[in-house]
Amino acid sequence: MEAMTGEEIIERKGLPIALDMERFVLGACLVSRMDVFEAVAAVLVPDDFGLTKHRTVYVAMLEVAALGRDVDHATVAGYMSDRGELVKWGGLSVILDLEEGMPSLMPGSVESWVADIREKSALRRIIGLCNAGILQAAAGDSSDAVMARLDRGISGLSESADHEANWRNPGEVIAEYPGGLQNFLCPTRGGTGLPLPWPWLQEQICGLQPGDMFIVAGRPSHGKTVVGLDIALHFAKELGVSVPYFSLEMGSESLVRRMISSTGRVDGHRMRTGHLAEDERHRARAAVAKIADIPLWIDYRQYNPLRMRMAIKRLIAKLKTGEHPPLGAVVIDHFHLLAKSHVGQDDRSAWVQASHDMKRMAKEFQVPFVVLCQLGRKCEDENREPALSDLAETSALEQDADAILFTHRPEMYVRNRSSDHLRGLARWILAKQRNGPTGARDMVFLKEFQRFEERAE
């Protein structure tokens, strides 16, 4: 049986391809000045060409140009001949046929052909991605594994669809900055990001910026959830933005009780046990009135990164109805309780993948992600403050994070926690920041109200 040509395979499988446009673009590169080829090379990659022979010619053109030689009939044919590719594809006809029927080059012609090639390339990739998903599902893989692969593939398609360079000189960067030159040189005191509720931390970080991943890490009971919840509460109540709070550990009712305790300065333990005095009940009711309708959305379910992304997208669709403010930030409590994306995935690779997914989602949704993270026992066993080395098991977090804050309560290291000299003492360590200083600040932990306050200096 005779082997099918590339064109016959495309036709038999019904895959989208812009055959003429591929020929015309390659032909235009051969007969035009180098700037035409360079414009094409800045946009198209070899896999954008549907036929193998077209892809082979294009690769030859790229390699000829990389050698510093002009891309024309002679250089490309000679290069392919030296590698045995010219004979493989029928001799010089593979080069000469590219110009057959090519229209006269007019302004915008090549750009139009390139756009058509990219569109058909994207459609072929989508078909391939869907087929792979079908095979994976038919083979018995879990739905989470299939969806994770599809999600990564779709994200890759979106990124490749926008791979054209977007060069801007310094003047253009400043001109496009919100508020122009004045705000660029003299931003609002404290920074331009979403302001944090603690003056020292706000001064250090200058607010959480869109696309940031902010890690809050500590040992159990050292106040990670207190920090994450206070940030979410502050953003939703004071700044009026929507904040989804993914609680993978603590139930929704417990989180709301903590909000009431912190907002109304009501003893949380007395509230849980039903022993509030009348003035405390009054403060609790006042706190409920303040937080009841704020756009802080709590979800207490098991999530993996893919399902979390889908949940955020559904929430964004809900917010677009106009009844609630737009998405402002996302809080995840906590990182190590995220479900694995794949059955059988080991912890380390799952955490690496999850960290990359968190950062990718922050950039995709253009909001800061506040990710709470539990540290191992090493710093406690060594009776010291936490450090970046304590993130060794999840080193991807250190790489992906824009800022890392450790919460430390020395009294939690002491067996006899009734020791008065340590009660309420806390220390925050800003161990990493991409765009500013690091440092530490003494804090006070008000256990009965589940809140941190800056310690008087």
CATH code: domain of residue 109: 1.10.860.10
pLDDT at 331 (0 to 100): 93
Residue 176 domain flag:
no
d(CA 304, CA 353): 11
Whether 451 and 262 have beta carbons less than 8 Å apart is answered as yes
- The residue with greater pLDDT, 182 or 293, is 293
Whether 331 and 370 have beta carbons less than 8 Å apart is answered as yes
Tally Cβ neighbours within 10 Å of residue 33.
10
Tell me the residue range of the domain where 110 lies: 6-160
Give yes or no: residues 67 and 197 share one domain.
Answer: no
End-of-domain residue from the set 127, 160, 193: 160
Whether 304 and 146 have beta carbons less than 8 Å apart is answered as no
Provide, rounded to the nearest whole percent, the portion of the chain with pLDDT above 70: 86
Residue 399 domain flag:
yes
Answer whether residue 214 shows pLDDT above 90: yes
Condensed to tens digits (0 to 9), the pLDDT of residues 345-387 reads: 677 777 788 888 888 889 889 999 999 998 888 887 777 888 8
Residue 179 domain flag:
no
Condensed to tens digits (0 to 9), the pLDDT of residues 318-347 reads: 888 878 889 999 999 878 887 665 555 677
d(CA 9, CA 5): 6
Condensed to tens digits (0 to 9), the pLDDT of residues 13-68 reads: 678 888 889 999 999 988 888 778 888 887 888 889 988 889 999 989 888 887 77
Residue 172 domain flag:
no
- Average pLDDT in the chain: 81
Condensed to tens digits (0 to 9), the pLDDT of residues 262-271 reads: 888 888 778 7
Residue 195 domain flag:
yes
Range 79-96 average pLDDT: 87
- The residue with greater pLDDT, 191 or 411, is 411
Residue 284 domain flag:
yes
Whether 365 and 278 have beta carbons less than 8 Å apart is answered as no
Give yes or no: residues 407 and 302 share one domain.
Answer: yes
Give yes or no: residues 156 and 197 share one domain.
Answer: no
End-of-domain residue from the set 160, 195, 221: 160
**Pick from 197, 220, 249, 232: which is nearest to 408 by CA?**
220
d(CA 399, CA 391): 10
> Cα 370 to chain center, whole Å?
12
Give yes or no: residues 199 and 146 share one domain.
Answer: no
Could you tell me the CATH number of the domain that includes residue 404? 3.40.50.300
Tally Cβ neighbours within 10 Å of residue 210.
14
Give yes or no: residues 291 and 433 share one domain.
Answer: yes
d(CA 326, CA 315): 10
**Pick from 47, 212, 222: which is nearest to 120 by CA?**
47
Residue 174 domain flag:
no
pTM exceeds 0.75 for this model: no
For the CA atoms of 427, 432, 437, 440, the dihedral, rounded to the nearest 10 degrees, stands at 10
Condensed to tens digits (0 to 9), the pLDDT of residues 109-159 reads: 888 999 999 889 888 888 888 888 888 888 888 887 787 777 777 766 665
Give yes or no: residues 215 and 354 share one domain.
Answer: yes
pLDDT at 1 (0 to 100): 38
CA 432 vs CA 92, 227, 439: distances in Å:
59, 17, 9
Give yes or no: residues 195 and 129 share one domain.
Answer: no
- The residue with greater pLDDT, 62 or 274, is 62
Give yes or no: residues 320 and 369 share one domain.
Answer: yes
Whether 235 and 457 have beta carbons less than 8 Å apart is answered as no
End-of-domain residue from the set 125, 160, 195: 160
Range 390-414 average pLDDT: 82
Give yes or no: residues 72 and 193 share one domain.
Answer: no
Range from 248-257, 368-377, 414-423 that averages highest in pLDDT: 368-377
Provide, rounded to the nearest whole percent, the portion of the chain with pLDDT above 90: 10
Give yes or no: residues 148 and 206 share one domain.
Answer: no
**Pick from 453, 428, 426, 425: which is nearest to 439 by CA?**
428
d(CA 135, CA 297): 37
Give yes or no: residues 204 and 287 share one domain.
Answer: yes
**How many structural domains is the chain composed of?**
2
Range 7-18 average pLDDT: 66
Residue 170 domain flag:
no
pLDDT at 2 (0 to 100): 45
Give yes or no: residues 151 and 236 share one domain.
Answer: no
